Amino acid sequence: MKIKNQAKSMNIYKLLFNFLFIAPLGLFAQDFLRWSDEFNGTQLDTNFWEYQIGDGCPNLCGWGNDERQSYQKGNIAVGSGLLNINAKKETVGNSTYSSGRIRSLNKFDFASGRIDVRARLPIGQAYWAAVWFLPTENYHGTWPLSGEIDLIEGKGQEPKNTYGTIHYGAHSPNNKYTGTSYTLPSGNFTSEFHNFSLIWKNDTIQWLVDNVVYSTKVKKDLPDFWWPYSRNFHFILNLAVGGYFLGYPDGTTPDTASMQIDYIRVYQNLNDIFISGPDAILRADLQKEFYTQKLNGATYNWTVPANAKIVSGQGTPNVKVNWGLKSDSIKVSITHQSKNQTISRFVKTLPDTCQGVIDNQETLRTTYWVGGNGTYKSAINNPAKDVTNNTNLCNRYYRNGNVTYDALILNADIIRDAKAFEDGTLILKMKLYTTAPIGTEVNINFENRALSQLDYPSGRRCVLQAKTTKTRAWEELTFKLILKPDNKTPEGSINQLVVLFAPNTNNTDVFYFDEFALEETPCKTITTAINETVINKSQITVYPNPFTNQLKIEAPFVPKQISLFNLVGKEILTVPNITELNKQILLLNSGTYLLRLENNEHYFYFKILKSNP
Ligand SMILES: [Ca+2]
Ligand SMILES: [Ca+2]
Q: Which pLDDT band, with edges at 50, 70 and 90, does 3 fall under?
A: very low
**Ligand nearest to the Cα of 512, by number:** 2
Annotation marks residue 158 as catalytic: no
pLDDT value, residue 390: 97
* Nearest in space to 121 (alpha carbons), one of 149, 162, 65: 162
Output phi, psi for 19, to 5 deg: -60, -35
What is the whole-number distance in angstroms between the Cα of residue 264 and the centre of ligand 1?
A: 8
What is the whole-number distance in angstroms between the Cα of residue 263 and the centre of ligand 1?
A: 5
What is the whole-number distance in angstroms between the Cα of residue 84 and the centre of ligand 1?
A: 11
- Tell me whether residue 482 is exposed, middle or buried, using C-beta atoms within 10 angstroms of its C-beta: 0 to 12, 13 to 18, 19 or more: middle
**Ligand nearest to the Cα of 379, by number:** 2
Asked whether 575 and 559 are in contact (CB, 8 A), the reply is no
One-letter amino acid of 338: S
Asked whether 315 and 299 are in contact (CB, 8 A), the reply is yes
What is the whole-number distance in angstroms between the Cα of residue 361 and the centre of ligand 2?
A: 5
For the chain, list the domains and their CATH numbers.
2-268 (2.60.120.200), 280-350 (2.60.40.10), 355-520 (2.60.120.260), 532-610 (2.60.40.3080)
Reduced to 3 states, what is the DSSP secondary structure of residue 264?
strand
What's the chain's average pLDDT? 90
Between residues 137 and 538, the one the model is more confident about: 137
Reduced to 3 states, what is the DSSP secondary structure of residue 282?
strand
Q: How far apart are CA 284 and CA 299, in angstroms?
A: 28
Segment 263-299, tens digit of pLDDT: 999 999 999 999 999 999 998 899 999 999 999 999 9
Q: Which pLDDT band, with edges at 50, 70 and 90, does 21 fall under?
A: very low
Detail the DSSP E strand segments found in 188-284. 194-201, 204-209, 212-218, 233-241, 256-268, 280-282
Asked whether 97 and 68 are in contact (CB, 8 A), the reply is yes
Mean pLDDT lowest among 133-137, 146-150, 178-182, 537-541? 537-541
* Nearest in space to 177 (alpha carbons), one of 261, 244, 248, 128: 244
Distance from the first to the final alpha carbon of the chain = 61
Annotation marks residue 148 as catalytic: yes
Q: How far apart are CA 302 and CA 291, in angstroms?
A: 10
One-letter amino acid of 515: E
Residue from 67, 148, 447, 520 carrying the catalytic annotation: 148
pLDDT value, residue 24: 44
Q: How far apart are CA 35 and CA 39, in angstroms?
A: 13
What is the whole-number distance in angstroms between the Cα of residue 194 and the centre of ligand 1?
A: 13
Between residues 210 and 8, the one the model is more confident about: 210
Asked whether 343 and 334 are in contact (CB, 8 A), the reply is yes
Average pLDDT over residues 14-35: 63
**Ligand nearest to the Cα of 381, by number:** 2
Which neighbouring-strand residues pair with 236? 103, 132
What is the whole-number distance in angstroms between the Cα of residue 324 and the centre of ligand 2?
A: 26
Q: How far apart are CA 487 and CA 509, in angstroms?
A: 33
Residue from 67, 137, 153, 192 carrying the catalytic annotation: 153
Average pLDDT over residues 35-59: 97
Q: How far apart are CA 289 and CA 137, in angstroms?
A: 13
Q: How far apart are CA 191 and CA 4, in angstroms?
A: 11
